[in-house]
Amino acid sequence: MIVLSVQNLQKSFGGNVVLKDVSFVLQDHQRMGLVGVNGCGKSTLLKILAGLEYADGGSFSLNKGMTFGYMEQQFAVNGDKTVYDVLKDVFIPVFAMEEKLRQMEIDMASTQSETELKRLGDSYERLNFLFEQADGYAWQSSIAGVLAGLGFEKHQWDQPAHLLSGGELTRLCLAKLLLQKPDLLLLDEPTNHLDLEALNWLEKYLSEYKGAVIVVSHDRYFLDHICTHITELLLGTAETYTGNYSAYMPQRAERFETRMRAWEQQQRFIAREEAIIARYKSFNREKSIKAAESREKRLEKVERLERPEDEHQVRFSFHAKRRTGDDVLAVRDYEKGFDGRTLFSNVHFDLRAGDRVALLGPNGIGKSTLLRCLVGELNADKGFVRWGANVDVGYYDQKQSTLHPDKTVLDEVWDQFPRMDQSEVRGALGLFLFTGEDVFMPIHTLSGGEKGRVALTKLMLQKDNLLLLDEPTNHLDMDSREVLEDALENFEGTILAVSHDRYFINRFANRVLVLSESGVKEYKGNFDDYQARLTWENARPTEDIRYADMTRTEAGKEKRKQRMAREQKKALKEKVAQAEKTISRLEDAIAAHEERMATAEIYSVPEKAAEAARVYQQLKDELNDAFAAWEEAAEELENAEE
């Protein structure tokens, strides 16, 4: 069933055409990811669908009777309501239904008319069904589940909502929307400000959501895990692809190549036809001129294909001006805190040449602070670092605090590399899409993504052999993230990166360090390997503790011993179960035999009576043996389980 139909939607701001001809269809239960470069109109499209912006042309329609919910990136709360009360307001219609149900119960108890009682009973049954469907009996647990899932601590539930941070308000907006359970969810960057635990919860929730979803997100891992379709906004139009983000990428490349081949083939055909026409005309004969005119008419009827265009992409690479030694960095007993609160302590780790390390940890644990200590912007409270030979450190600050707000883009880069010619600096900036007059824009006028590209330009030109990157994919569009990942993949130096971008971590990392208050824990591999290891650890906590202090040989012997014990217990359990079956069978046989022996005719023939007595005694003996076998097996099993 079609939930939403969008036809030829158009939107401009001044002379800037954002949406030129956007059309797509969303079916029930589909989860569509809306992607495209920064500024292509993704948020604008959601606002139009939510009724917050007007389209200049085209139309869209939501299926009759269906509801939608819109999550914007900025959410404000009026008044002094607590976090819990903001979400409780979602259930005001439910409370009204409950009040009506209570009144109907009173009316049914007081009425004397059977007809009225039946009418009230039927109405009560219908309303009670709607009450159940609206979580009337479970609204408190629904609120608690969503708050916990999105990372709200219990003590925050009674906190005035207007005192929340921007990120917490965004999460509260998302919580409210999820509790409303509209038929269509419109989500604009829902993963912002969520830690890994909350991200996992949201992915599971949306994957099981009964309605349809359109989501704008730069989190490619998130899109991979929830989306059934991807719609790309490209040069003002929309194209829809089946599958998640990883499925969309090769489809997109294939479509572009197919269109380019078709356009090139048509161009060759047109050039060939024009050459033939020109040759006919050169003969300057009546017959050849008519042939030329005939071909010209046919050529005019050909529907000309437009040359396929793609958005301009950032393109760059990292290179190191010299090699480091094998040992790049050693961190020992590092500790840092603020205002009496320790962020992290007892931090030990090493970086070796060529390492690709992702630094993870919950929000507020001090990941960015640790990088700032390493580059000397902050002093650690305790511990030391030892740098290897020939290490040149390049640092990418997610806040871009080193950029001077009043400098132009050109001066910001050129002042750091004064020996370069202006043409060289502009060439480098051109790789990051700063061309023409763009290079004279003041830094303070740039968007977050543009500032990030200026910082990456400087980092590329430094040619350092150790890159410390703090959330390098923030504010970058997806194509730029892909290019950054390619550049890091081909970088010959060493990388330590703080990131919440799980797709990015999967692309570049071969080690994961998880920072906590008590130190760091290391995992081999990328993010998926880390998650798999966590799942294994959570599934086998006792075994991990039992073997933690053993050598591999000792652990192997202990595991074999435990395996043999498990196999022995399994065999004993089967032996007990078999004995119980035997006892049950013999008891049934004895009961049936006793019924036969109770008949008079069996005693009319002495031989039959003697045989019956013999069989009866045999069954009794077998039953005694079965009980003995059961007791022995049960005792062995009890001893084995001690």
Q: How far is CA 400 from CA 428, 441, 472, in A?
A: 19, 16, 10
Between CA 325 and CA 490 the distance in angstroms is 19
Rounded Cα–Cα distance for residues 3 and 25 (Å): 8
Tens of pLDDT, residues 384-415? 999 999 999 999 998 888 899 999 999 999 99
Q: Is 501 exposed, middle or buried (0-12, 13-18, 19+ CB in 10 A)?
A: buried
Structure tokens at 110: 């007081």
* pLDDT for residue 565: 75
What is the pairing mode between strands 237-242 and 184-188?
A: unpaired
Residue 628 in tokens:
């003995």
Residue matched to tokens 């921007």 = 166
Pairing of strands 212-216, 31-35: parallel
Which is nearest to 238 in space by CA: 36, 67, 454? Answer: 36
Residue 51 burial (10 A CB sphere; 0-12, 13-18, 19+):
exposed
Question: What integer pLDDT is reported at residue 251 of this predicted model?
Answer: 93
Contact 471, 305 (CB under 8 A): no
Beta bridge partners of residue 352, listed in sequence order: 327
Residue 37: predicted pLDDT? 82
Cβ neighbour number for residue 149 with a 10 Å cutoff? 19
523 closest CA partner among 348, 331, 334, 358: 358
Q: What are phi and psi of 548, to 5 degrees?
A: -60, -40
- Nearest alpha carbon to residue 318 among 495, 433, 431, 460: 460
Rg for the chain (alpha carbons), in Å? 36
pLDDT at residue 75, rounded to an integer: 66
Q: d(Cα 577, Cα 583) in Å, to the nearest integer?
A: 10
Instruction: Give the burial class of 270: count Cβ atoms within 10 A of its Cβ; 0-12 exposed, 13-18 middle, 19 or more buried.
Output: middle
- Alpha carbons 211 and 178: distance in angstroms, whole number: 11
3-state SS assignment for residue 34: strand
This prediction has a pTM of 0.70
Residues β-bridged to residue 233: 238
C-alpha pair distances (Å), 177 with each of 68, 95, 246, 372 = 9, 18, 28, 37
Assigned token pair, 15 = 């002379």
- Residue 595, classified by CB atoms within 10 Å of its CB into exposed (0-12), middle (13-18) or buried (19+), is exposed
**Residue type for 103, please?**
Q
Taking the C-alpha atoms of residue 423 and residue 94, their distance in angstroms, rounded to an integer, is: 67
13: closest CA among 35, 33, 43? 43
Look at residue 448 in the predicted model and tell me its pLDDT.
83
Burial (CB count <10 Å: 0-12, 13-18, 19+), residue 84: middle
Give the per-residue pLDDT at 171: 86
How far, in Å, CA of 171 to CA of 193, rounded?
7
Nearest to 230 by CA among 243, 211, 218: 243
Low-confidence ranges of the chain (pLDDT < 70): 72-76, 310-313, 540-557, 559, 600, 602-604, 641-642
pLDDT at 379: 94
Strands 466-470 and 356-360: unpaired
Residue 596 has which token pair?
């036969």
